[in-house]
Amino acid sequence: MGWTLDDDPERFAATAGDFLRARAVENSVLLTVLDTLRRRGADAYGSGTPVFGSWRPDGGGEVAAAVLQTPPYPPLVTAAPQDAARALPGVWAGAVEAGRAGVPSGVRGEAEAARTFADGWRARTGETVLVRRNARFFRLAALTPRAPAPPGAARVAGPSDRDLVLRWHQEFAVDIGGPVPGGEQAVDDAIAHGGRTLWELPDGRPVSMAGATVPVGGAVRVVAVYTPRAHRGRGYAGAVVAAVSRTALDAGAREVLLVTDLANPVSNGLYQKLGYVPVRDAVELDFAAADEGAHAVPGR
């Protein structure tokens, strides 16, 4: 049957939901994005119409791959059989020509599938592929908070902390070279469901932040880990991540996950000391016109 693209999150959930939930650890980002779109509407991440895709092998059978795009962000792909990954650029190009999808600025997701998509898109367009980020997914095996803990304690951020949380999100986005996903609305949503936690010194000063997504498929993902530069290197990030992880476990999460940038050895080492173990690699790739990519890192 090949790829089927759609613009309805409910139809996509009905079609691909079992496939995504069966691999909730690997597909946690896509599951979170889908859940947010279903709760907050199609404009949760931007004004463009989201695109959803699922793939079944020729002759039918169960869904074996999926893709989701929330403009202005690039498509997000799951792990996929090679023939599915190779076919997706052509299907996407057809959707662009028909006005059913936007021209992708890149691709992200499971490393092999994303790189295969990028290779196909480069062959069709001549664009250069640049590596924005190599990432690694971790799952919590056994929480081992670092001892002794730094001074202070964790507390859940509330409405009165909105300006601080928003500012730290913006500073975090500058650090990683991207926008705040979902903008101010995403921050408001996170605070409303108790999804941001601050590490606060005994004198009441917040010095670090970590967040947690809404549970989906029994999995919670630790996100938005940020410590202002003046407070780094003192153990605050590890303490607040441990607190958020413990809260997720106590609330019944079967899996607690997080994603790291492989270019940041400090955070990768920290999370492993807290009891997180690697699961899989992911990649974020950008597309650029050939003359813009003269010094680009190749996609493979």
* pLDDT higher at 12 or 47: 12
Q: What angle do CA 43, 44, 50 make, to 5 degrees?
A: 55
Alpha-carbon Rg for the chain, nearest whole angstrom, is 20
Q: Per the omega criterion (within 30 degrees of 0), is the bond before 148 cis?
A: yes
Statement: the pTM of the whole predicted model exceeds 0.75: yes
Confidence tier at 59 by pLDDT (50, 70, 90): confident
Is the dihedral angle over the CA atoms 287, 288, 290, 292 positive or is it negative?
negative
- d(CA 68, CA 30) in angstroms, rounded, equals 7
Q: What are phi and psi of 281, to 5 degrees?
A: -105, 150
* Token pair of 18 as six digits: 């079992």
Angle between helices 183-192 and 28-40 (to 10 degrees): 90
pLDDT digits (tens, 9 = 90+) for 161-220: 999 999 999 999 888 777 667 678 889 999 999 999 999 999 999 999 999 999 998 999
pLDDT of residue 207: 98
Q: How far apart are the first and last CA of the chain?
A: 29
Whether domain 142-274 has CATH 3.50.50.60:
no
